[in-house]
Each structure stands twice: as structure tokens, then as C-alpha cells.
Amino acid sequence: MHPTTTTRERRKVVAATTIGTAIEWYDYFLYAATAALVFNQLMFAGLGSATATIVSFLTVGLSFLFRPLGAFLAGHFADRLGRRAVLMVTLVTMGAATTLIGLLPTYASIGVWSPILLIALRIVQGVSAGGEWGSAVLLSVEHAPAAKRGLFGAGPQVGVPAGLLLSSGALALMDTIAPGDAFLQWGWRVPFLFSAVLVVIGVLIRLGVEESPVYAEMAEVASGEVTNPIGTLFRNYTPLVLAGALLFAANGTVGYMTTGGYIQNYATKGLGMARGDILLAVTVSGFTWMLSTAFAGYISDYLGRRTTFILGFAVQAIGALLLFPLVNSAELGKVYAALIFLTVGLGLTYGQTGTTFAEFFPASVRASGASITYAIGSILGGAFAPTIAAALYARTGTTWAITAYLVTASLVGLAVALCLRERKGIPLGHEHEELQRSGHFAWEGRR
């Protein structure tokens, strides 16, 4: 570990990456929830109700197709120029796009330009989200002591459910302040405009954080440089990228039932439950997801990343199996139980992911590897999960097809976790590149 990395600096890094990631994902999830509640009515007017809902979900998924672009760009520049600079750019870009969405005229005002501009801004959000995650995770993990790497890496991971909690909470608050038609007229815009304030706070916090010590040391050694980190990544680590992407997809497929807005739309429009009640339930589940995510990072330092994944995907599969039977009761208590139990499983398959990806790849291609693996997993899992769920329900008229889809995704994640070899505590410095390149899968033997 770099000698100038103090305990105080490590804590600053975790706080900065967690808060910054929470702001990024507040913006991102705010769009997803609003797509299901507002955009299908205001921006896609003229389409039938069911078609407008599916198209709204498609715009949620569309941004995922641009995450790899953000991941490729951010991964390349984070490996070549450093993690910290990339994080500043992604935060400002995401905040600007979100604030502009809050100012966007509706279809009734400017016609087809409304959905066109909305989609363009969602694409900008996708590029930014693709670039944020990998650099935030690595900045935190590469500052961490080896024995607490899982806990430190869980910081940026906690920022994601914190973003869900903040976005759902903001919408629930505005539903109270501006109920009924007022919410559609202006209430939904306030959380988007508030993003500008959050971005200023995030930038000020991140300005006080030092560069990753692993990158700082690598930059001083000519042999540690890779001129084409993305090419090197795919030439040497494609199977590992795919395995990591499947792990992430298995979590994202299930998680995007709430973060992608499907449950919010289904419970309010399909079951006739009160919008404010469902938004509050999702907010509470965001809190339990946040706690279980932090716990997963912490416990993975003792049980190992692999064992934590195995436990998590087993719990997640049970939660996926129970989700719709409980939600379909249209009883608020059972909806709370379904979402809370599900988020425990989601946290146990999420909290250790960033640290796992950091331990997957050698220092010279680590930012590219973590960012691109995450982006591919997002496409395979979260991108169109709400759209697929809506299409399955429209075709079959039952939620059992959705349940089968979610449970299958969880079992795929479990299978991949069983194939991995534990790499907890492996040195991350550039001087250990040969060790970092070896033995990722269970059949490759022990170090």
C-alpha cells in the first residue's frame, strides 16, 4: 500500500465514492421510476396505454446499450490518466442530463421533440453511468487494506441502493406535496431539478480525494503502463469478463424489478394500489438493500467473495419466487415483506461485486476490466428486464412467467459463483501482475 495512504484518507475516499455514487444513481433511478409513473403519460402521449408503458420501459433499457461506450471510455482513461479525473466528469455529465430532463416540455407542448429529447438525455445518462461505477469502486478498493477490502468496496455499492432510496423518497415526498394531477403537472420535476444541487455537493466532496495509490505507483513505472488496455483485456481475459458479466446480470435482472420501475407500475396501474404507498415501500426496501449490501461487503472479508455470492443467490432465488405471489395480494404489508426479503438477497449478491471485479483483473487493465464487465452485465441483466417482464405479462396474463424468468437468472448467478475460485486478499499492486493473471476458476487449481 502506498505509504501516504492514511486511515483518514481511506475514510475520505469511501465517503466520497459512496456519496458520489449515490448522487449518480439517484439521477439514474429517478428516471426509471418516473418513466413508469409519468413519462408514459406525458412524453409518449398518442400511444395506447399499454404501448406507452412498454415504450417508456424501453427508454429505461435503451440507456444500458450506451453503458459500454461509457465503460470503454472511462475504463481506458482511468487506466491511462487515473480514476479520480474520470469520476469528476461522470458526475457532472449525469447531473446535467438529469437537470435538463426536469426542464423538458411535454408532448402536448412540443410534440415529437419531447420524446426525442428525453431519449437523448437518457442516452447521456447511460454513458455516464457506464463510466462511473468502475472508477468509483477501484478508487475505494485500491485505497483499502487487504483485510478490509470487501468492506471498503461495498461503499460505492451502497451508493446504488442509497440512490434508489433517495429517488423513491423524493418522489414519495412530492406525491404528498403535490398529489393527484399536480404531481403530473409539476411535482415530478422538482426531484430532477434538485439534482443540480446534489452535483455541486458531490463535486466539492470529490475534489478533496487523492488518486488511487495503486494507479499512482503504476504511473511511475514504465513497465506498468499498457497502451491499449481494452485490447489487452479482451485478448487475455474474455472468459473472465463473461463470467463477471453473468454474475452482475443475475443480480440486475431481479433488482430492476424495482430500480427499473416495473413493480411501481404493476402495483399502481395493474393492482390499483396507491402511488404514494408503493413509492414508500420501495423507499424502505432501498434502505434494507443498502444495509444488506454493506453487510455483504463486510462478511465477504471473512467468508470470502465466492461463498457470499453462493449464499446470496440462494436467498435471492427464494425472494424472486415469493415476490409476485406476495405483491399480487395487493396487501401493503405483504408488498413490504416481498420487497424487503428480496432486497436482502440483492444486497448479498451485490455488496462484494466491486471488490470481486477488482480482484479479477491485474492493475494495468483493472479499470477497463471492471467497467466493461459491469456494462456488459448491465445489458444482459438490467437493461430490458422491466420490458421483458411487461411483455411476458402481456403475453401470458400471469406473473408466473416473470417469476420463472427471475428465478432462472438467480440460478445462473449461483452456477457461475460455484465455478469461481476464491481470490480474497490477492495483492492488487502493479508489482504482482503475474499473480493477478493466474487461476480465476475453480478447475484451475489453487495458487
Name 420's bridge partners: 441
User: In 3-state terms, what secondary structure has residue 425?
Assistant: coil
Q: Quick one: pLDDT at residue 276?
A: 84
What is the rounded CA–CA span in Å between residue 416 and residue 201? 39
pLDDT at 429: 73
| CATH for the stretch 7-444 | 1.20.1250.20
- Residue 287 Cα distances to 88, 166, 232, 339, 429, angstroms: 26, 9, 39, 11, 34
The answer to whether the CB of 249 falls within 8 A of the CB of 381 is yes
- The number of residues making up the chain comes to 447
Per-residue confidence (pLDDT) for residue 401, from 0 to 100: 95
Find how far residue 59's CA is from the centre of its chain: 17
**Domain coordinates of the chain in residue numbers?**
7-444
SS3 218: helix
User: Grid coordinates representing 74?
Assistant: 472511462
Residue 8 to residues 12, 16, 106, 121, 217, Cα–Cα distance (Å):
6, 12, 48, 38, 20
CA distance 399 to 320: 11
Q: What is the pLDDT of residue 296?
A: 95
Write down the pLDDT at residue 217. 67
The one-character DSSP state at 441 is B
pTM: 0.80
Q: Please tell me the distance from the alpha carbon of residue 303 to that of residue 61, in angstroms, as a whole number.
A: 34
Bridge partners of 45? 47
Q: Which three cell numbers stand for residue 349?
A: 449478491
Helix 7-34 to helix 83-102 angle (10° resolution) is 30
**CA separation for the pair 140, 104 (Å, rounded):** 35
Amino acid identity, position 111 = G
Q: Which H helix or E strand runs over 152?
A: helix 149-177
For residue 244, the model assigns a pLDDT of 94
pLDDT at 1: 43
Q: What is the pLDDT of residue 219?
A: 60
Per-run averaged pLDDT (10 residues), the chain, 447 residues: 61 78 80 80 72 76 77 72 74 87 88 86 84 75 82 84 84 88 89 88 76 64 60 87 94 85 85 88 88 94 95 97 95 94 95 90 83 85 81 92 96 95 81 74 63
Report d(CA 351, CA 181) in Å as an integer: 39
